[in-house]
Homo-oligomer: A and B are copies of this chain.
């Protein structure tokens, strides 16, 4: 049975592994994807525990006060959540391959680019949920700014950095617009972004953490039409329809 199956109501807390950082995640969540990218890029030994956000395990409320993902848990009890805070924390503690510039203005410039990207997050949701073609036009208008400021291989220079990893998850999702909205980024309008996308797909961290497009498309369709999408699309599931990886199966599942 796949270890990626989402933990759900009725499951048992999986004990921590000493020396290993644990990421509470959801396979299709772009914010979790940010942290998975950072863990992969910095080669931080970690394990992933997927959570069903609609049927959160009871034990998860002891870990994150509002029950959100992503969230990191360390074997000494430290908890860090919110994707940007988590990234800054990991970058400070695992300092070998720095993602964030130590220059305060360059750091602020990168943070502002990541913060402004929230407009695209909202517009992409609108485009996908309401099949709104105007939202796609708005996304392109915001992306004009990113096309303009991109002046090197990556947003921070020759090496992949903070901005690249923080905005990448949505570019994997923008790709799904081709299938869902019959729309895609115009290579002539976005020549630099088109090259940047190609550079990103060549990175090991991007390859390792990539969400399969066919699964993502099915999930996006489900999550924009159903209150209970399948968080385990494409995984081998337990035979009985009991709550996912409960280690002590209930004798009387509902």
Once the chains bind, are A65 and B145 in contact (CB under 8 Å)? Answer: yes
- A92-141 residues at the B interface, CB under 8 angstroms: 92-93, 104-105, 107-108, 111-112, 115-116, 119
Most B CB atoms within 10 A — which of A66, A92, A93, A104?
A104
A240 to B191, CA, bound (A): 51
Once the chains bind, are B119 and A66 in contact (CB under 8 Å)? Answer: yes
A80 at the interface (CB under 8 A from B): yes
Task: Give the interface SS of chain A, mostly helix, strand, loop or mixed.
Answer: helix
A104 to B90, CA, bound (A): 9
A154 at the interface (CB under 8 A from B): no
Once the chains bind, are B111 and A85 in contact (CB under 8 Å)? Answer: yes
Once the chains bind, are B108 and A89 in contact (CB under 8 Å)? Answer: yes
Chain A interface: which size bin?
20 to 34
CB closest chain-B residue, reference A82 = B115
A171 to chain B, nearest CB (A): 20
A81 at the interface (CB under 8 A from B): yes
A92 to B89, CA, bound (A): 16
Once the chains bind, are A92 and B80 in contact (CB under 8 Å)? Answer: no
A78 at the interface (CB under 8 A from B): yes
A88 at the interface (CB under 8 A from B): yes
A143 to chain B, nearest CB (A): 13
Query: Can you name 6 A-B pairs with beta carbons within 8 Å?
Result: A66-B116, A66-B119, A78-B105, A82-B111, A85-B115, A86-B108
